[in-house]
Amino acid sequence: MSIKTSVIGFPRIGKNRELKFASEKFFKGDISEAELQKVAAEIRQYGWQKQKAAGIDFIPSNDFSFYDNVLDTAFLLNVIPERYSSLELSTLEKYFAAAHGYQGAKGDVKALPMKKWFNTNYHYIVPEIDDATDLKLVGKKPVEEFNEAKSAGIESVPTLIGAYTFLRLARYNGNKKAKDFAAAAVNAYAELAEKLATAGAKWISFAEPALVFDVTAEERELFKTIYAELLRKIGEKKNLKIALQSYFGDIRDVYQDVTALGFDAIGLDFVEGLKSLELLKTGFPKDTLLLAGVVNGKNIWRADYAQKNAILAEIKKYVAAENVVVGTSCSLLHVPYTVAAEQKLSADILKHFAFAEEKLVEIAELASADADALAKNKALFATARVQANAKVQAELAALTAADFERKPSRLDRREVQKAEFKLPAFPTTTIGSFPQTAEVRANRAAFRKGEISKEQYVAFNQKKIAECIKLQEEIGLDVIVHGEFERNDMVEYFGSKIDGFVFTQNAWVQSYGTRCVKPPVVWGDVSRSAPITVEWSVFAQSCTKKPVKGMLTGPVTILNWSFPREDISLKTQAQEIGLAIRDEVLDLEKNGIRIIQIDEAALREKLPLRKSDWHKEYLDWAIPAFRLVHAKVKPETQIHTHMCYSEFNDIVRDIDNMDADVITFEASRSDLKLLDALNDAKFETQVGPGVYDIHSPRVPSEQEIVDALHKIIAKVPQQNVWVNPDCGLKTRGETETTASLKNLVAAAKKLREEK
């Protein structure tokens, strides 16, 4: 007998991003809501049929979303702030207003905040709850989508974001807290369960990924209360089976509760769940299905069947074989649709890839233990996937502590650098990019398509650099940048210039709403065969006497925004990328670039979900990878880094440990609690907390920036303070950029006078 199979969720942007394009047309008013709905229905149908054809037993419904499932849940449960619900718009338009704001004839409202979804590159909309929120069932989406699947001949499992995760992720603006809404949530979910049962559902699945965070005693009580009550209510009424689905890690803090509550199925993650097997050994309830997430739902590599079967064999020691269901570790939302859409990469590479559709086949093959499939998979993994790069491996093996330790100490370097640069107090700079105007993008596109020669391409960029530098000198900035006109994206640019990465044509993954990303794939050993940015930086430095900052992306960010390899550790990959970027740093230095910024925009975002894992699973290799990149530079070379988030209060020691000379970060929209943390930690790195928000075209006044600086120097020793915007200026217009930077320089001058 073949064992059963289940899927948690399927991609929903459309195989060719149909939902993105249709939604954007709808936003512009080019197509009607009905036309948009039609595209959505086709996308759902496509996913269901693929899953059915692959023989998946538990096929989800309600995993589709026009924007985000958490926002869907808020609309399902009437958690809709007044400012959106009162707009005279259709429900779908109100939903989009909450997702990305609305500005038009019917009103002017900002979007709800957006946050990273656990440890993925997907973002969810944060529901907003206040004391007046009347949480109750108002939506029909799960029932409608269940019925839609049913009419297509598919008996689906409606999947819902569970009450605990929903309440845990929401933001509370009043005095009431999550527990004050638990009873209402239970009622709403019970009512929905009854409606689904009436529609014919035999199973429903509650997704509770928030159980993989650290769970406090109070949260644990909340979880138990919700499900004890909900299961009682559902059990009373209908013969409906309930699955509790976790993913993105293990549920060590609540495993005993989850197994005691009486769910009909429990979904555990055996890929990222470091302790899942160990937990299973403590016991698993009889007559309960284990949805075993063994195929990695987040990465794009083929599963190694031998390794997966070994895990399944281990699982079967603790769970009766007939109760084991094979599935993915998380929703397939986080991988692209299909390898079949890739026409450019060689078959030798593609045969190692498994995107969502290929993963369906893997699940089915693992469940059926098909001998042919096993043999084929064994052959695939028997041959070395990558041509190893012996030189890189030797370099890695030769690394010693000295490669991670810059000399002399930062405070000693500071004196050397003071003499070297003679910068004024409150030095001013920007984060790197200047407005990417249409002509800048057109120049890159024309070169890529072969419509202009390399000389023409370079000449245009040099002209832009020269103009950009002249502008910065006129504005009066102290440390100059070249403007980044040669790059579209800070990771793709470097990935495409160093060996070891491959790029797909169509492997899009949803980042948020209609925005999709196409991450590079780490394919082999990474190395740099030729300088990347040197010619641009050297040209830029030739245009000015002021110091020009070289501009690089750091190894942790490059790795975090790519699909990493699974055959070697993240630590090793970060070191390989680190060595490649180190070559670039040293070449820049050799060519007269005296300040080098190494951006680590994404360092903060891959912190493990559990605090106890932060160091051993992540920071212990991520911080050294950064240190590796710059440890060999001369004392007078000034190393900057930049981070997009200011939420690193808990890791300020680690950030200081990166041993950069200067760090700039986003701060203008934060509550500046970080400044207290910097103060408490006696943070040594000089800091440039962004003094104005670059996400908006608004021009900050000189006074506003002066005020921001006063707040900063109330907490940070003023000799450590730099003055800069929040982030790069590439998405801004030229006029507002110039005006804003002039005010920034004027504000810095004011502070110098006050001293």
Binding site for Zn ion (CB under 5 A): 601, 644, 727
Rank residues 370 and 647 by Cβ distance to Zn ion and give the closer one: 647
Rank residues 94 and 549 by Cβ distance to ligand GLN and give the closer one: 549
Q: Considering the rule CB under 6 A, would residue 644 count as an interface residue with ligand GLN?
A: yes
Taking CA atoms, 687 is separated from 661, 674, 703, in Å, by: 9, 11, 21
Rank residues 633 and 727 by Cβ distance to Zn ion and give the closer one: 727
End-to-end CA distance of the chain: 81
Selected range binding ligand GLN among 279-287, 339-347, 428-436, 446-454, rule: CB under 6 A: 428-436
The verdict on whether residue 558 carries a ligand-binding annotation is no
Rounded least distance, CB 740 to Zn ion, Å: 16
Rank residues 97 and 601 by Cβ distance to Zn ion and give the closer one: 601
The verdict on whether residue 516 carries a ligand-binding annotation is yes
DSSP state at residue 157: E
Q: Considering the rule CB under 6 A, would residue 552 count as an interface residue with ligand GLN?
A: no
Pick one of 599, 605, 654, 656: the residue that binds ligand GLN (CB under 6 A): 599
The verdict on whether residue 431 carries a ligand-binding annotation is yes
695 is annotated as an active-site residue: yes
Instruction: Give the position of tokens 């800070």.
Output: 490
What's the rounded Cα separation, in Å, for the pair 63 and 585? 45
Selected range binding ligand GLN among 89-97, 121-129, 425-433, 509-517, rule: CB under 6 A: 425-433
Rank residues 157 and 644 by Cβ distance to Zn ion and give the closer one: 644
Site for ligand GLN in 431-490 (CB under 6 A): 431-433, 484, 490
Q: Which residues contact 481 (CB under 8 A, 6 or more apart)?
A: 429, 430, 431, 432, 433, 434, 468, 472, 540, 548, 549, 551
Q: Considering the rule CB under 6 A, would residue 728 count as an interface residue with ligand GLN?
A: yes
Rounded least distance, CB 486 to ligand GLN, Å: 12
Rounded least distance, CB 690 to Zn ion, Å: 8
Pick one of 548, 558, 727, 741: the residue that binds ligand GLN (CB under 6 A): 727
The verdict on whether residue 463 carries a ligand-binding annotation is no
Rounded least distance, CB 502 to ligand GLN, Å: 23
The verdict on whether residue 32 carries a ligand-binding annotation is no
What's the rounded Cα separation, in Å, for the pair 591 and 540? 12
User: Site size for ligand GLN, by CB under 6 A?
Assistant: 13
Integer-rounded Cα radius of gyration of the chain: 27
* Core vs surface per residue 567-598: b (16+ CB within 10 A) or e: eeebebbbbbbbbbbbbbbbbbbeeebbbbbb
Residue type, 413: R
Q: Considering the rule CB under 6 A, would residue 601 count as an interface residue with ligand GLN?
A: yes
Rank residues 478 and 599 by Cβ distance to ligand GLN and give the closer one: 599
Rank residues 165 and 553 by Cβ distance to Zn ion and give the closer one: 553
The verdict on whether residue 543 carries a ligand-binding annotation is no
Residue nearest to ligand GLN (CB): 728
Catalytic residue among 123, 482, 695, 710: 695
Q: Considering the rule CB under 6 A, would residue 730 count as an interface residue with ligand GLN?
A: yes
Between helix 69-76 and helix 141-151 the angle, nearest 10°, is: 110
Rounded least distance, CB 541 to ligand GLN, Å: 17
Nearest to 724 by CA among 750, 751, 694, 698: 694
What's the rounded Cα separation, in Å, for the pair 438 and 443? 9
Q: With CB cut-offs between 5 and 8 Å by kind, which of Zn ion, ligand GLN, none does residue 599 bind?
A: ligand GLN
* 678 within 8 A of 730, measured Cβ to Cβ: no
What's the rounded Cα separation, in Å, for the pair 703 and 96? 36
Q: Considering the rule CB under 6 A, would residue 623 count as an interface residue with ligand GLN?
A: no
What's the rounded Cα separation, in Å, for the pair 317 and 311? 10
Q: Which residues contact 337 (CB under 8 A, 6 or more apart)?
A: 11, 15, 355, 356, 357, 506
521: which strand partners? 502, 563
What's the rounded Cα separation, in Å, for the pair 423 and 129? 48
What's the rounded Cα separation, in Å, for the pair 17 and 5? 27
Which residues bind to ligand GLN, rule: CB under 6 A? 431-433, 484, 490, 551, 599, 601, 642, 644, 727-728, 730
Residue ranges of the annotated binding site for L-methionine are 431-433, 484, 599
Residue ranges of the annotated binding site for 5-methyltetrahydropteroyltri-L-glutamate are 17-20, 116, 515-516, 561, 605
Catalytically annotated residues: 695
